[in-house]
Amino acid sequence: MTAGDSALHHLDSAGMRDFLARFVQIPSVYLPDTAGANESAAAAFVVDVLTEWGLNPTVWEVQPGRPNIVAELHGSFGAGALLLMEGHTDVVTPGNLANWTYPPFGATVVGDRMYGRGTADMKSGVAAMLYAVRALQLAGSPFAGTIRLLIPVDEEGLMIGIKDIVARGYADGAAGAIICEPEEHEVCTAQKGALRLKLHSVGRVAHGAMPDEGVNALTPLIRLLNPIIDLQAELRSTHGDHPLLGKIYISPTVLRAPIGGDASQVNVLPDSADVYLDIRTIPGVNHQRIVATIQGYIDVLCQKHPSYQVALTIIDDRPSTEIPTSHPLVQALRAAHLKVYGDVPPYGGVPGSTDGTIITRDSGVPVVVYGPGHKRIPHQPDEFVHLSEVDNAARVYIHAALQFLSTPV
Ligand SMILES: [Zn+2]
């Protein structure tokens, strides 16, 4: 019997399904200023399981009620590489309950499907990685080096959980990371970058009948939106499309003035206005250069119109990531998928960003995204996962970890 066969023999599918159901039944939606609406109960549930298995998890709160978890399993073959596996505990809100056929936190099983918020994104990924590690542990940890589980909060927010994990050094020196997000059998080697900018304009209130007495805060932003929209086409012609990630996007998503005002005062010039930009990039696009270009548009406009005041703020900056398909972790996942499913998985790209973006940005560790669940089902009503796919994901993780960590150093 190979080490892989032995570990598969120890995979507790029934236990994993039970874990997943109970995990989904804990509504770990983070809602600011709502008592108890956070990841604490879901994290405590994970910590109990890890503790029962003797994995001695490290737990700390990033913010009150928002605990991160790190745990690791050392191989019995001695020193070797460090493999990270990552999955978050938070889920997005169920939204309008009328759109759900099944209760969003019921974990209802119908045939091979389990329904509920977080079944795909990504409590099934967390279940698969935990039970894969448990199976490896029960098989005697037949590998070299270490598997470290990173289980942060707030992936659906500003990713404060993973930022804190990386800042504490838990990704340092890792040879690679598997992000267990739902990617529908694709081995995702690239993730889009995301840059969120805010342009804030300050003017001076005046009566609409005497606009020369004030400064309309909206006007400079409208003038700026034209070159910003044209910048998308410029970047696309410079960089082309990415084979796995597609196009570059620059989308103005919010335009508002006066800030906090309503439409009742149509005869008053707004004294403040905001534009938000959601920019999605591909490898090779330099975010700093985009910021500098837009700042250049602002400077030119404000020189021409000295009464304009526009300030640019970076709300969030997540670079794109790409790992070569020849990387041993990519090849290990590919070979593992072939063993479990009998076919070669396609390479894919992640259109959004994951916690893996932060791991690469802040620690330089290459990431691959692979996990159970459909790519487009997250955040929708009637989110579901195929339970057979959760089993298979755990099997793939077992084979991939054993191949990646086969060599002692
Ligand atoms: Zn997710």
pLDDT in tens, 379-406: 899 999 999 999 999 999 999 999 999 9
Q: Which fold has domain 193-318?
A: Alpha-Beta Plaits (3.30.70)
pLDDT > 80? residue 342: yes
Distance between Cα 354 and ligand 1 center (Å)? 7
Distance from residue 367's CA to the centre of ligand 1 (Å) = 15
Q: pLDDT tens digits for 61-102?
A: 999 999 999 999 999 999 999 999 999 999 999 999 999 999
Which two three-digit tokens encode residue 46? 């994970």
Distance between Cα 30 and ligand 1 center (Å):
13
- Across the chain, mean pLDDT equals 96
State the distance from the centre of ligand 1 to the C-alpha of 380, rounded, in angstroms: 13
375 pLDDT above the threshold of 90 = no
Write down the domain spans for the chain. Answer: 3-191+320-404, 193-318
Q: Are 228 and 252 in contact (CB under 8 A)?
A: yes
Residue 328 CA, ligand 1 centroid: distance in Å: 24
Distance 361 CA to ligand 1 centre (A): 18
Specify the residue for token string 């579901």.
Answer: 384
Query: Residues of 298-328 as b/e, b for ≥16 C-beta within 10 angstroms?
Result: beebbeeeeebbbebeeeebbbbbbbeeebe
End-to-end CA separation in angstroms for the chain: 25
CA of 234 to the centre of ligand 1 (A): 31
Question: What pLDDT is recorded for position 352?
Answer: 87
**DSSP 8-state symbol, 348:** E
Distance in Å, CA 355 to ligand 1 centroid: 8
User: 281 C-alpha vs ligand 1 centroid, how far in Å?
Assistant: 19
- Please state the CATH superfamily assignment of the domain spanning residues 3-191+320-404 in this structure: Zn peptidases (3.40.630.10)
Of 307, 174, 289, 297, the C-alpha closest to 239 is 289
| pLDDT digits 0-9 by tens, 181-194 | 999 999 999 999 99
* Distance from the alpha carbon of residue 407 to the mean position of ligand 1, in angstroms: 31
Identify the pLDDT of residue 238. Answer: 97
Question: What is the Å distance from ligand 1's center to 78 Cα?
Answer: 33
> What is the whole-number distance in angstroms between the Cα of residue 353 and the centre of ligand 1?
9
Q: Do the domains 193-318 and 3-191+320-404 match in fold?
A: no
Predicted pLDDT at 80: 96
Distance 386 CA to ligand 1 centre (A): 17
> Cα of 156 to ligand 1 centre, how many Å?
7
CA of residue 242 to ligand 1 center, whole Å: 23
CA of 370 from ligand 1 middle (Å) equals 11
Ligand 1 centroid from CA 181, angstroms: 6
Q: What does the pLDDT read at residue 46? A: 98
Helix axis angle, 287-304 to 218-239, nearest 10°: 140
CB 258, CB 272: distance < 8 Å: yes
| Digit-coded pLDDT (tens) for 196-241 | 999 999 999 999 999 999 999 999 999 999 999 999 999 999 999 9
> What's the 91 CA to ligand 1 centre distance in angstroms?
7
Q: How many CB atoms lie within 10 A of CB 277?
A: 23
What's the gap in Å between 280 CA and the centre of ligand 1?
18
Q: How far is the CA of 349 from the centre of ligand 1 (A)?
A: 15
Q: Residue 347 has what pLDDT? A: 97
